Structure 1
């Protein structure tokens, strides 16, 4: 069984409830003889805490376990910083129920105690890397746990693009852009674009066109190890953007090529033993709860 001693606490700023939960969890961990480590931005709004502090990008080097208090967006940011270190991450929800942050703050001590005792399930979630190439040079790159999205930015005009999968031409398209989503992201923005829900254990990507000019353009599910390339038309009149998890933004230009592929390091996501993906879907997406009869 893994021994967790140095516990990183990462919280979403701007929420008194998050601060309260961080304080409560920090006290509990100290009572258990463990070492809470506060992420520096949350530590800055907790005067007099007397705890070890670490920058988010360094948290994976000093923590054995990271606890993210906030919503799924908070966990996405932490995941991109921590995944390469192999440190497991557990999410405590302080907003609406999350697909990633699934521990309720009301029973945080009991659930964290279970995790510390080795009573949990662990999943691997892969991330995507995106690189923007201009005239053979890399001019921008980003990482996403949910998705990589090509979108118009502030423009309202369609984007003309070519899509290649593993070097094979797929189509020329005029649309508002493309969503390239992991299974983790399939219940996020890709879902609102008409994409399918993919179980988190799948090794696959889904490509979802955003308001395509032709109704025959449909989501495509491909192998998770595929290399995707999107080429923006030289004649495209606007300068679209690439967004990773809606948090990292890269400006593109006509003629740019964007390559998207799986990153080598995966996020280790921990859930309580009571976690059930379909139960979360029922709650989050409002599915019927009756069992027939």
Structure 2
């Protein structure tokens, strides 16, 4: 990849994890030795001698971001940096993580590769989610960006949902199920996998629809082109559903609220591990 001018590196550290903090201290020292500014959130910055900024400001200022934590930590950062196409390097601290693929002992070397321009980036699609409320008041529209998935789950009463789905303005399917997951290829190894969805090669341009415990056995997971624009309505009027984005943001959805889902305008740029996808899958999923 062409060398990118890097003047500042953001370090995002999983909170309440001493190991992550110790690694961040070493990486911050290494970054400073390269005459590059290290940025971190205030509670971390004071302990690793970095410049203190909010996470939002870090996403705006950093030319490159290193995440020390799990996939959840990386997802939160990825949604903030997508519009700027900031390269993100995920360092795995020992969890299952499919996004944080670089081992701790490889982190410093990986940073040096990025500084030299000797690296490749995976461009992962996102989903843009718009919830248009039944009042039709445009001021009551909620917007989200999903890197992994959008999930609709049954509400507090635990009753089955009836979800009417249209694809490219055509009737597609009415799901009677505990819920529905709309996933990117990146999210195919997350919640959708637990619902019986397929594992999808991360850079393919597709979306996965995976029903959760469907009432009808023919309602199987399906893969659609990422050019497909989806509309989802909750048909049952006496209880709400919960819409969750990447397992981190949520909103209640009622009858006749309209959920629009399409490919996001901006993708996420992940620094590619030196280990190939097949090796990662084989190791993470213990395929032998």
Whether these two folds match at TM > 0.5 is yes
- The answer for the alignment partner of 1:239 in structure 2 is 240
Deviates more, 1:66-75 or 1:125-134: 125-134
Which position in structure 2 is the counterpart of 1:211? 213
Number of residue pairs the alignment of both structures matches: 283
**Per-residue deviation, 1:108:** 2.0
Paired position in structure 1 for 2:34? 32
TM (normalized to structure 2)? 0.94
Aligned to 2:64: 65
Match of 2:167 in 1: 165
Trace 1:107-126 onto structure 2 (pairs within 5 A).
107-126=106-125
Distance 2:42 2:244 in 1: 25
- Quote the offset at 1:41 in angstroms: 4.7
Could you tell me which runs of 5 or more consecutive residues in structure 2 were left unpaired when the two chains were aligned: none
Matched with 1:198 is 200
Change (3 A) 1:41 1:166: farther
Q: Which residue matches 1:221? A: 223
Q: In structure 1, what is the Cα distance between the partners aligned to 2:112 and 2:160?
A: 51
Cα distance in structure 2, aligned partners of 1:83 and 1:41:
24
Alpha-carbon separation, structure 1, partners of 2:44 and 2:145: 23
Moved over 3 A (4+): none
Which residue number corresponds to residue 291 of structure 1? none
Q: What are the equivalent positions in structure 2 for 1:99-114 lying under 5 Å apart?
A: 99-114=98-113
Compared CA separation, residues 261 and 195, structure 1 to 2 (3 A): same
Matched, 1:140 2:142: yes
Aligned counterpart for 1:156 among listed residues 158, 164, 167:
158
Q: Are the equivalent residues in 2 in contact too, given 1:141–1:250 (CA < 8 A)?
A: no
The verdict on how the C-alpha distance between 1:284 and 1:155 changes in structure 2, with shifts beyond 3 A counting, is farther
- 1:248 is aligned to 249
Which residue does 2:11 correspond to in 1?
Answer: 9
**1 CA distance for matches of 2:50 and 2:148?**
32
- Name the residue aligned to 2:176: 174
1:121-149 Cα deviation digits (max 9, x unpaired): 21111111211112223442322100000
Give the structure 1 partner of residue 269 of structure 2: 268
Q: Check the 8 A contact 2:166/2:232 in 1, yes or no.
A: yes
Tell me, in whole angstroms, the C-alpha distance in 1 between the residues paired with 2:209 and 2:95.
27
Stretch of structure 1 that moved more, 200-209 or 58-67: 58-67
Check conservation: 2:9, 2:63, Cα contact below 8 A. yes
Contact 2:59 2:77 in 1 (8 A): no
Supply the distance in 2 between the matched residues of 1:50 and 1:20 (Cα, whole angstroms).
Answer: 12
CA RMSD in angstroms comes to 1.5
Shift of 1:258: 0.8
CA–CA distance in structure 1, aligned partners of residues 42 and 166 of structure 2: 42
Deviation at 1:97, TM superposition (A): 4.0
CA distance in 2, matches of 1:142, 1:41: 27
- Is 1:283 aligned to 2:260, yes or no? no
Q: Give me the whole-angstrom Cα distance separating, in 1, the residues matched to 2:280 and 2:56.
A: 30
Q: State whether residues 193 and 209 of structure 1, in contact with CA within 8 Å, keep that contact through their aligned partners in structure 2.
A: yes
What's the CA shift string for 1:16-60, capped at 9, x where partnerless?
1111111110011112222111133533xx44x442122222223
